[in-house]
Structure 1
């Protein structure tokens, strides 16, 4: 059982790395340096489409990762 959970945790950790690397950056161009981020204050929007799916997938994977970590420590 321990070896199976450890294998699942390994696969899950690689999947988390891939999902986090696929997320788009939040920075805009050099205009943020001059505007002081005011465009983000008024232009804040909810994530939609692919970005929203990536955020939800990341949260679920990280919760599973920590759940598996706790389960692995209880098994030992």
Structure 2
């Protein structure tokens, strides 16, 4: 049982890393924050298309990562 949860945790970790790296950048970095890039960050722009799918999948895999981490910890005890 412990091995199954550990393998699922590793798969979710790798998937989460890949999903975060596939997402497009949403800010212009430090220079954008100083010169008014916060308008884009807090604006009412919704992610569309593949960005929306990647964003939702990232949330799902992040929750899965935390749940599996807690499960592996309790199974290990």
TM range (shorter): 0.7 to 0.9
TM-score, structure 1 as length reference: 0.80
* TM-score, length of structure 2 as denominator length: 0.79
- The structural deviation recorded for 1:47 is 0.7
Which structure's CA Rg is the greater one?
A: 1
Aligned residues: 75
Give the aligned CA root-mean-square deviation in angstroms: 2.5
Aligned match of 1:14 = 14
Residue 71 of structure 1 aligns with which residue?
71
Using a 3 Å threshold, how does the CA distance of structure 1 residues 6 and 36 change in structure 2: closer, same or farther? same
Q: 1:38 to 1:72 in 2, by over 3 A?
A: closer
